[in-house]
Amino acid sequence: MLYTLYTLFPDLILPWTQEAIIGRAVEAGLVSFNLRNLREHAQNKWNRVDESPYGGGAGMVLRVDVAARAISEAKAMEPAPDEIILLSPAGEPFSQKIAEELAQKQHLCMLCGRYEGFDARLEPLVTREISIGDYVLMGGEIAALTLIEATARLIPGVLGDQESHQQDSFATGLLDYPEYTRPPDFEGNIVPEILASGHHAKVKQWRREKALERTFLRRPDLLETAALSSQDLKFLETLKKVKAES
């Protein structure tokens, strides 16, 4: 997977691409990065990329012609981008489903805004707009890194255990079950006995029920679209009765 990022601050992103799992994935040739500075497309002696907004108001707006030249450059790359993504609070909410879709691509190009964002005339030039949440950041770099983290880990070989991401929160439509490790007793808080029993079927059932319980208590909205078995539904009915009686 090739990730091309257009940003005013590529040096913010560079160290992140060189460390931990992402850094090892780069060394293994599983992912690569092309960090591009938007100022290279300014075409003026001051390398200016922004202007005051028409109609007045605070802040500065990134010029559409600058971004359009960046997109033209990206389209000429080999391979050409499968998606040209504008990170924007007005975009579609990012989700695990979108991450799984994007992870199948060969080349993702992302535009990271700053200030008051890009001129609205940029929107028809991108293939999609994505938001990572209902809040405003100082720039699109963190949003871009979020997309990279969520998609790169789904690429075969990036994670050491190929099955690890399949049981993560949201991958199954539910929150993940709670995890435990040593020490077995921490200030009287003891690891559930079932996890040390060696009974794989019972451990699997316990984990499924805990995932259902966590989702029921913390994110019940996820249950509306999760794939649930008849046994899952029966367990949820029990949870509902306990909650009603408490």
Which amino acids are annotated catalytic?
A: 89, 116, 153, 168
DSSP letters for 64-101: HHHHHHHHHHHHTSSSPPSEEEEEEEEEEEP-HHHHHH
- Bridge partners, residue 6, by sequence: 36, 111
Q: What span, in angstroms and rounded, lies between the C-alpha atoms of 38 and 62?
A: 10
Q: What span, in angstroms and rounded, lies between the C-alpha atoms of 172 and 169?
A: 7
Task: Determine contact, residues 212/236, Cβ cutoff 8 Å.
Answer: yes
- Secondary structure letter of residue 116 according to DSSP: T
Please give the backbone phi and psi of residue 139, each rounded to the nearest 5 degrees, phi first. -170, 170
Q: Locate tokens 């439509």: which residue?
A: 173
Helix, strand, coil shares, percent, the chain, to 5: 45, 15, 40
